[in-house]
Amino acid sequence: MDALDRVVKPKTKRAKRFLEKREPKLSENIKNAMLIKGGNANSLVTQVLRDVEFFSKKSDCSLFMFGSHNKKRPNNLVIGRMYDYHVLDMIELGIEKFVSLKDIKNSKCPEGTKPMLIFAGDDFDITEEYRRLKNLLIDFFRGPTVPNIRLAGLEYVLHFTALNGKIYFRSYKLLLKKSGCKTPRIELEEMGPSLDLVLRRTHLASDDLYKLSMKMPKALKPKKKKNVSHDTFGTTYGRIHMQKQDLSKLQTRKMKGLKKRPAERITEDQEKRSKRIKKD
């Protein structure tokens, strides 16, 4: 048996806990990002990595961002993610314009706050490279999954715009103002950082591998309920099966206007008599 095929059991409790955390789970752990500074990174790229660190934790390598700078590809960022210990997607972006967090003098939201993500531009829905970039950015910045959201917890917005071959990244702080009614008036105040990016090279997973990475376990799939449907807005509709009813026997409120006329009564009596004769 080859040495790679043998299963090595952990010798300590600490090693056992570490391996258990790395095992596949129905609900995966929060994805963390590893920010890597290249040996030739200039001050601009270094500051970009520092500002991105404000929005993401620096830990294991399920997500990564690599910053570098050279003559052929100046002010370069590579953003990517891993699947099953292999690189799934990797996209190279060039920084054309950058405004740092520290250059915008106003209040900031607490570090690690969950953002709202907004994507504008047809390219994010039409072009395959931009679709993958959108999915990768959501993975990178969305933060932990939470069951409930309170209004006061919506503190900042990350806005991505795809226009004329460029990606504009903006960050805004959300201000809730008095509006004279229950729902507050919302204002956006630029917080930083601000980046103008251009798409360079891409290394994307094949369609089969991408579908495999997005596959949901059967245990997490919601069970289908019979005769229950939902519309686009989440409204639930139920279908009830009943026996056919004879509406002529339905008891209604007695009103003079609904009383039968003598001619109608005579016609009904005649119909009943004819039915009896046929049966006999």
pTM across the whole model? 0.68
User: Does pLDDT of 6 surpass 50?
Assistant: yes
DSSP string over the chain: --TTTSPPPPSSHHHHHHHHHHS--SSPPPP-EEEEE-TT--HHHHHHHHHHHTTS-B-SSSEEEEEE--SSS-SEEEEEEEETTEEEEEEEEEEEEEE-TTTS-S--PPTTPPPEEEEESTHHHH-HHHHHHHHHHHHHH--S--S---GGG--EEEEEEEETTEEEEEEEEEEEE--SSSSPEEEEEE-S-EEEEEEEEEE---HHHHHHHTPPPGGGSPPPPTTEEE-TT--EEE----PPP-GGG------GGGSPPHHHHHHHHHHHHHHHHHH-
pLDDT score for 4: 44
Whole-number pLDDT of residue 28: 63
> In this predicted model, what pLDDT tens digit does every residue of 65-117 receive, in sequence order?
999 999 999 999 999 988 877 888 999 999 999 999 888 888 787 776 788 89
Q: Could you give the domains of the chain? A: 13-220 (3.40.50)
